[in-house]
A and B are shown apart, each in its own frame.
Chain A
Amino acid sequence: MGKRAQKRLLDLVTYTWLAAGAVLMVLPFLWMISTSFKPPAQQFSKSLIPDPPTLRNYIELFSYRDIHFPILFLNSTLISGLITVGQLLTCAMGAFCFAVVRFKGRDLLFTALLLTLLIPFHVTLIPQFIIFKALHLVGQRAPLWGTVPLWLPAFWGGAFGTFLLRQYFLTIPRDLVDAARVDGASLPQIFWRVYLPLAKPALAALAIFTFQGAWNDLLHPLIYMPAAPNTTLTVGLSLFQTQMAHGGKFTVLMAGAFVSILPLVLVFFFAQRQFIQGIALTGVKR
């Protein structure tokens, strides 16, 4: 077999495997979308194309009484937004100190921070719950006090975000700091005017990660906001599913699932590069 033919064959094998895998990855999403447009009577129909397609499920979804979908949407947006702001701000502050400033105990502190990456998150669940309960912040009404236990911890930094931003800050040329110093800039000014604007790509990557993690989180809202309507999309959908088990409509459930993933899918399509760079940034430069 010649070299050309060998390469052709290899290409064919590659495409076949990749395409087969890609179909398996995407099919559940197609099934979700297709079912959400099917008339409820055909909820178990095995055809991928709804016949006839209908918007009824979406109308029913948004007029549902017990689990008020717009409120869930609002709660999820608010919580994820605040978590993202908190992480970007506090992780950048910490990362700036570790990457730029010279102070006693810096390396020790940074090592301690990295060590926390190895602490499984479930260890933090119970003490945090007890503290927030003692502060009477559990079971309050969303969106105001009831959401505090979910987003407040995002305002005390975190190893992942601080590490990611520090790595990026280290690539910013030091001459800029010296120049700013000569111009009489203070520490916070250098942080705010020099480093933050230059770190936009890394900040964008961290923002996307954080927002995604917060939006998709199930366990924390399950602990702090377990009942509708004071809850998030993820818990709402899981409650919705329980109700569906007693003779509900899967078509409406799929409409709910699709609406809940839509914002992130859109962000992903428009900011794919940041997503992928972010993973590469944390995965390779360790």
Chain B
Amino acid sequence: MEYGLRPLGREKIWLWLLLAPTLVGLIFGAFGSVLATTGLSLMEWDLLTPPTWAGLRNYVELFTNERFLRSLSNTVKFSAMYVPGVVVLSLFVAVLLNRPIRGVSLFRTCYFLPCVTSAVATALVWNLIYGKDTGVLNYLLTRLGLRPVCWLCTENALYSVVVVNIWGAIGEGMIVFLAGLTAIPREYYEAAEIDGANRVQQFFRITLPLITPSIFFQTLISTINAFQAYDYIYMLTRRAGGESTVPVVVFSIYRNAWHFSNYGGASAQAIELTVIVAALMALYFWLEKRFVVYE
């Protein structure tokens, strides 16, 4: 409360007017939504007939509903591949780009391009690339004398979709890591050089510890994104009848609410996903205290 401009007399009204949208968003948009979704998850409601009380039935059902369990396992598998993939690859690109080389901005543009464009539009091309009989990827494989792969069939679709999602996220991670890398003082490396440390040692002893804040941040963001991933998955894995070969939890929420009018069940799924993400965040912040180095 030390800094700041004190509103004079009637200016208090202006203060609250300026703050009003934020307050509405906080009360209705954010915390209200959590409360409302929690309430809905305890009910059965199709929005046509009056809602009925369901108690914890929607939650109990989640543990036995095979479709939901499959979507949950897909989300977890997806995240387990996506998060390390994005963090490692974008760090790798950033480390290369941080060297004194030419064409940095051109490279940066190339890597960032998929972050700018819509997943819907680029997924259409990926569909063309992944095509079984007509796709570019299988064409290349057969030219190399290998057997064509059904990239978007049930057994491979998860991996194919993870690849596209990582492809679409490297650019953002790269920028975060570049910002972290340029903040490391050059003197550290000069001192290490004098002490005779080689480049590998320099990377593991100086670079890696000093960019742990960026690694932490990027891991956090990637995890949140992974649990909410939807666009590429919807575009690449949907089949006739609105099913998906790789249903994830967000897909399941969407389908339960807007295809089956099961708003209570969908709310329970949304809450469960939120609890999982919150638990992961708590774990991350606990790890941050132990392993992240702040100067």
Residues of A near any B CB (own CB < 8 A): 10-11, 14-15, 17-18, 21-22, 24-26, 28-29, 31-32, 35, 44, 46, 90, 93-94, 96-97, 100-104, 106-107, 109, 112-113, 116, 118-130, 133, 153, 155-159, 162, 174, 177, 181, 186-188, 190-191, 212, 215-216, 218-219, 222-223, 226, 233-234, 237-238, 241, 250, 253-254, 256-258, 260-261, 264-265, 268-269, 272, 275-276, 279-280, 283-284, 286
Q: Point out the residues of chain B lying under 8 angstroms from A280, CB to CB.
A: 175-176, 178-179
Can you sample 18 A-B contacts with CB below 8 Å? A10-B199, A25-B113, A46-B139, A93-B22, A94-B21, A97-B19, A103-B4, A126-B253, A126-B257, A133-B47, A187-B18, A188-B14, A216-B118, A222-B258, A237-B124, A254-B128, A264-B118, A280-B178
- Given known pairs A118-B278, A279-B175, the reply for A260 and B101 (CB within 8 Å) is no
Structural contact, A106 and B1, CB atoms closer than 8 A: yes
Q: Point out the residues of chain A lying under 8 angstroms from B26, CB to CB.
A: 109, 112-113, 116, 157
Q: Point out the residues of chain B lying under 8 angstroms from A158, CB to CB.
A: 25, 29
Structural contact, B119 and A218, CB atoms closer than 8 A: yes
Structural contact, B116 and A212, CB atoms closer than 8 A: yes
Cβ of B214 under 8 Å from chain A: yes
Q: In the complex, how many angstroms separate the beta carbon of A268 from the nearest chain B beta carbon?
A: 5
Q: In the complex, how many angstroms separate the beta carbon of B51 from the nearest chain A beta carbon?
A: 10
Nearest CB to that of B221 among chain A residues? A283
Structural contact, A187 and B278, CB atoms closer than 8 A: no
- Chain B residues 111-167 with CB under 8 Å of chain A are 111-114, 116-122, 124-129, 131, 134, 136, 139, 167
- Given known pairs A124-B29, A133-B47, A234-B118, the reply for A254 and B281 (CB within 8 Å) is no
Cβ of B277 under 8 Å from chain A: yes
B36 CB contact (under 8 Å) in A127, A155, A186, A261:
A127
Q: Point out the residues of chain B lying under 8 angstroms from A24, CB to CB.
A: 167
Interface majority SS (helix, strand, loop, mixed), chain B:
helix
Q: Point out the residues of chain A lying under 8 angstroms from B72, CB to CB.
A: none
Given A90-B22, A94-B18, A119-B30, 10 new contacts (CB under 8 A): A28-B114, A29-B125, A44-B134, A121-B228, A187-B7, A237-B120, A238-B120, A280-B179, A284-B180, A286-B217
Q: Point out the residues of chain B lying under 8 angstroms from A283, CB to CB.
A: 175-176, 179-180, 214, 217-218
Structural contact, A126 and B267, CB atoms closer than 8 A: yes
Q: In the complex, how many angstroms separate the beta carbon of A48 from the nearest chain B beta carbon?
A: 10
Cβ of B107 under 8 Å from chain A: yes
Residues of B near any A CB (own CB < 8 A): 1, 3-7, 11, 14-15, 18-19, 21-22, 24-26, 28-34, 36-37, 40, 47, 92-93, 96-97, 99, 101, 105-114, 116-122, 124-129, 131, 134, 136, 139, 167, 170-172, 175-176, 178-180, 183, 199, 214, 217-218, 224, 227-228, 230-231, 234-235, 250, 253-254, 257-258, 263, 266-267, 270-271, 273-274, 277-278, 281
- Given known pairs A116-B31, A284-B214, the reply for A187 and B175 (CB within 8 Å) is no
Structural contact, B257 and A125, CB atoms closer than 8 A: yes
Structural contact, B101 and A11, CB atoms closer than 8 A: yes
Q: Point out the residues of chain B lying under 8 angstroms from A222, CB to CB.
A: 254, 258
Structural contact, B109 and A122, CB atoms closer than 8 A: no
Structural contact, B5 and A268, CB atoms closer than 8 A: no
Task: Report how far A152 CA is from B118 CA in the complex, Å.
Answer: 22
Structural contact, A126 and B37, CB atoms closer than 8 A: yes
B125 CB contact (under 8 Å) in A32, A118, A123:
A32
B28 CB contact (under 8 Å) in A129, A130, A156:
A156
Nearest CB to that of A189 among chain B residues? B14
- Given known pairs A257-B121, A283-B217, the reply for A238 and B234 (CB within 8 Å) is yes
Structural contact, A25 and B110, CB atoms closer than 8 A: yes
Task: Report how far A221 CA is from B254 CA in the complex, Å.
Answer: 12
Q: Point out the residues of chain B lying under 8 angstroms from A121, CB to CB.
A: 228
Structural contact, A126 and B263, CB atoms closer than 8 A: yes
Q: Point out the residues of chain A lying under 8 angstroms from B116, CB to CB.
A: 212, 261, 264-265, 268, 275
Task: Report how far A44 CA is from B3 CA in the complex, Å.
Answer: 64
Nearest CB to that of B218 among chain A residues? A283
- Given known pairs A26-B110, A275-B116, the reply for A122 and B250 (CB within 8 Å) is yes
Structural contact, A18 and B107, CB atoms closer than 8 A: yes
Task: Report how far A46 CA is from B18 CA in the complex, Å.
Answer: 57
Nearest CB to that of B266 among chain A residues? A126
Q: Point out the residues of chain A lying under 8 angstroms from B180, CB to CB.
A: 283-284
Task: Report how far A258 CA is from B4 CA in the complex, Å.
Answer: 49
Q: Point out the residues of chain A lying under 8 angstroms from B6, CB to CB.
A: 101-102
Structural contact, B25 and A128, CB atoms closer than 8 A: no
- Given known pairs A264-B116, A272-B109, A275-B112, the reply for A18 and B93 (CB within 8 Å) is yes
Nearest CB to that of B110 among chain A residues? A22
Q: In the complex, how many angstroms separate the beta carbon of B247 from the nearest chain A beta carbon?
A: 14
Structural contact, A254 and B125, CB atoms closer than 8 A: yes
Task: Report how far A224 CA is from B3 CA in the complex, Å.
Answer: 44
Task: Report how far A46 CA is from B135 CA in the complex, Å.
Answer: 9
